[in-house]
Amino acid sequence: MPPPALTQAAIETVVRKDWGRILAALVKSLGDFQLAEDCLQDALVSALNHWARNGLPHAPDAWLITTARRKAIDRIRRRATHNTHAAELSYLADLANEPVEDVVIPDKRLEMIFTCCHPALARPAQVALTLRTLGGLTTDQIAHAFLAKPETMAQRLVRAKRKIAAAGIPYAVPDADHLPARIDAVLQVIYLIFNEGYAASSGAELMRAGLTQEAIHLARVVADLLPKAAEVRGLLALMLLHDARSAARAAPSGALIPLDAQDRRLWDRTKIAEGTAIISAALLEQRIGPYQLQAAISAAHANAPSWERTDWQDIAGLYGLLWKVQPTPVVQINRAIAVSYAQDPQAGLALLQQVRDDQIADYQPYHAAHADLLARVGDPVAAHTAYDRAIALSQNTQERDFLTARQSALGKTLH
Amino acid sequence: MQFMCLIYSTEGTGPQPGTPEFGPFMKGYQDFTQKVKDEGKLVAGDALQAVSTATTVTVRDGKTETMDGPFAETKEQLGGYYLLDCADLDEALKYAALIPTADYGRIEVRPIVVWDN
């Protein structure tokens, strides 16, 4: 009896799971990104056709790569100058004629992610390529998630692939000298993908919210491929811990709920447990970096029974360490807030007022924190003014509504 | 692959002849040239005379126009180049970063087109 026929959605799920691994192996052996992707796309069309009728083959990934290699032979032959490719063709033919049960797909995803996140590519191109090649998202899905036109996204991907080929960007793991900086670029791309999704929380933006899961998946892949890089696990833990709180972040109206007012029963305990375990293990390796410190801070919040019973000493200490490796105004603002609870609002305000940076003048979170600290040291008039500034700088309605509510609450003590 | 490393800087910035910094700066160029030669990467490399010596030629409707000066006035000018034979962009970028002018100017790295006959 033949295996049961499959729906298109089921086939696409199977293909997506193996997409990154197969594509990376194809790119490495063909040395041509666009050709590899076109051939895998051809193989997907064949799969839809065959699998829908005959059911899932024994090894879908081997079936796909063998089919893609045959498609590559066809495509190379159809090009006018096929005699120059004789060696390549015979190599490919050997691979394509292997019995499917003998096919081993080499894992070239690490090389691939360093190519996609190469600093010679612009950041938006890095993001799109990573999602397309390692995430297996379609161009339309990526366009939708980044609120771009599909044609714009398609063009961005084509240009990036052309630059990879023409500029000689290698498919390789960088040498030891450059590895830390290049890993950092990969982590920045993954975190950017996560934050794009995290910023979108309403139902209307579901596809964008899917980006958070995509980023977590990518971080898991990279963490497996780079087991020694503690910062990769730091980022994975950080994203899991953020994501664990997503159900409590927005009211049904869409309004943003700050950490101190969130219903902690809505937090996902499984994700918190996983994130906490990952960051605890990573910290023991003593290769501390900014993602691990942020994850540790997030874990301290996630494991606190309530806002009042949060270990503010621990959090203030972690922000102090983070400030040493990442002395940015954003870190200083959060450190000031933590110190305001660990010690008193005056100490927090003193730290906050040390932030004297040109970027701060128009930075909404600074004014929001300033307003809150001024209110808590007993200066509602100055707090009111700071809220005016924060409200004027708000980028979205939820944020504005939240700040306006806080400002009104202030009014009750004013009168 | 061959990569053209175009050396750009603002004329008059960086170590100037007659200053104590100039000797070590030129020594840096000598050392770099020797290094790429020894490592089998050097195809060609030259410094250009100052942009004030530039002449621009245009042919329109069969008529040649010759003009004093560079084709575009820019803050940073092309001052020289190295043509290097490298495995890939990463290797080319590694060498480009060793060109002494990289410390105060910019090095633009572009691959040479290989015509497919």
Q: What percent of chain A has pLDDT over 90?
A: 61
Interface with chain A: mutation pick from B90, B94, B109, B112, highest number of A CBs within 10 Å: B90
User: Which of A70-79, A125-134, A218-227, A234-243 has the weakest average pLDDT?
Assistant: A70-79
This prediction has a pTM of: 0.85
> Going by C-beta distance under 8 Å and a sequence separation of 6 or more, which residues neighbour residue A150?
A139, A140, A143, A144
Q: Which of A81, A169, A175 sits opposite B89 (nearest CB)?
A: A169
- Dist CA A256 CA A249 (whole Å): 6
pLDDT score recorded for residue A202: 45
CB neighbour class for A168 (10 Å; exposed up to 12, middle 13-18, buried from 19): buried
Residue A100 and residue A83 in contact, taking contact as beta carbons nearer than 8 Å:
no
Q: Which residues of B67-92 are buried (b: 16+ CB within 10 A; e: fewer)?
A: eeeeeeeeeebebbbbbbbbebbbbb
For A176, other C-beta atoms within 10 Å of its C-beta total 7
Element (H, E) at B84: strand B77-85
pLDDT score recorded for residue A12: 82
- Nearest residue of B to residue A177 by CA position? B94
Amino acid at site A4: P
Find chain A residues with C-beta within 8 A of B4's C-beta.
none
Amino acid at site A91: Y
What is the largest distance, in Å, between two alpha-carbon atoms of chain A?
88
CB pairs under 8 A between A and B: 28
- Dist CA A310 CA A302 (whole Å): 9
> Going by C-beta distance under 8 Å and a sequence separation of 6 or more, which residues neighbour residue A88?
A76
Q: Average the pLDDT over A89-99 and give the result.
A: 83
- DSSP structure class, residue B72: S
pLDDT score recorded for residue A14: 80
Q: Which of A81, A167, A175 sits opposite B89 (nearest CB)?
A: A167
Alpha helices (H) in A168-289, listed in sequence order: 179-199, 206-225, 230-244, 269-284
Q: What percent of chain A has pLDDT over 70?
A: 93
Find chain A residues with C-beta within 8 A of B93's C-beta.
120
Q: Which of B89, B94, B116 sits opposite A168 (nearest CB)?
A: B89
Residue-wise pLDDT tens digits, A177-197 = 899 999 999 999 999 999 888
Residue written as tokens 């305000």? A349
Residue-wise pLDDT tens digits, A271-295 = 999 999 999 999 999 999 999 999 9
Q: From residue B16, how far is each of B46, B63, B80, B82, B98 by CA, in Å?
A: 18, 40, 16, 21, 19
Contact criterion met (CB < 8 Å) for B88 and A166: no
pLDDT score recorded for residue A105: 85
Is the pLDDT at A199 greater than 80, yes or no?
A: no
Q: How confident is the model at residue A201 (pLDDT cuts 50, 70, 90)?
A: very low
Q: Which of A81, A166, A174 sits opposite B90 (nearest CB)?
A: A174
**Alpha carbon A120 to chain centroid, angstroms:** 20
- Tell me the two tokens of residue A108: 């070239």
Is the pLDDT at A254 greater than 80, yes or no?
A: no
- Nearest residue of A to residue B86 by CA position? A168
> How many CA atoms lie less than 13 Å away from A135 in the CB half-sphere?
27
Amino acid at site A172: A
Contact criterion met (CB < 8 Å) for B90 and A178: yes
Amino acid at site A247: A
Interface of B with A (CB under 8 A): 1, 3, 86-90, 92-94, 110-111, 116
Long-range contacts: A6-14, Cβ < 8 Å, 24+?
A6/A51, A6/A52, A6/A55, A6/A56, A7/A52, A8/A48, A8/A52, A11/A47, A11/A48, A11/A51, A11/A52, A14/A51, A14/A56, A14/A60
Q: How confident is the model at residue A253 (pLDDT cuts 50, 70, 90)?
A: confident
> Going by C-beta distance under 8 Å and a sequence separation of 6 or more, which residues neighbour residue A186?
A113, A114, A117, A222
Q: What is the 3-state secondary structure (H, E, C) of A305-354?
A: CCCCCCCHHHHHHHHHHHHHHCCCHHHHHHHHHHHHHHCCHHHHHHHHCC
Q: Give the A window 66-85 contacts with B, CB below 8 Å.
A: 81
| Mean pLDDT score of chain A | 89
Residue-wise pLDDT tens digits, A57-87 = 888 999 999 999 999 999 988 876 655 667 7
Q: Give the A window 138-177 contacts with B, CB below 8 Å.
A: 166-170, 172, 174-175
Q: How confident is the model at residue A117 (pLDDT cuts 50, 70, 90)?
A: very high
Top mean pLDDT of A29-33, A73-77, A373-377 is at A373-377
- Beta pairing class for B77-85 and B106-111: unpaired
User: What does each of the 117 residues of chain B score in pLDDT, given as a tens digit?
Assistant: 999 999 999 988 889 989 999 999 999 999 999 999 999 999 999 999 988 899 999 999 999 999 888 887 788 999 999 999 999 999 999 999 999 999 999 999 999 998 866
Find chain A residues with C-beta within 8 A of B111's C-beta.
166-168
How far is A204 from chain B, CA to nearest CA, in Å? 42
* CA torsion through residues A232, A233, A235, A236, sign: positive
How far is B110 from chain A, CA to nearest CA, in Å? 7
Is the pLDDT at A206 greater than 60, yes or no?
A: no
For A385, other C-beta atoms within 10 Å of its C-beta total 15
Is the pLDDT at A88 greater than 80, yes or no?
A: no
Q: Which residues of A351-369 are buried (b: 16+ CB within 10 A; e: fewer)?
A: bbeebeeeebeebbbbbbb
Is the pLDDT at A205 greater than 80, yes or no?
A: no
- Dist CA A134 CA A25 (whole Å): 12
Closest among A115, A168, A32 to B91, alpha carbons compared: A168
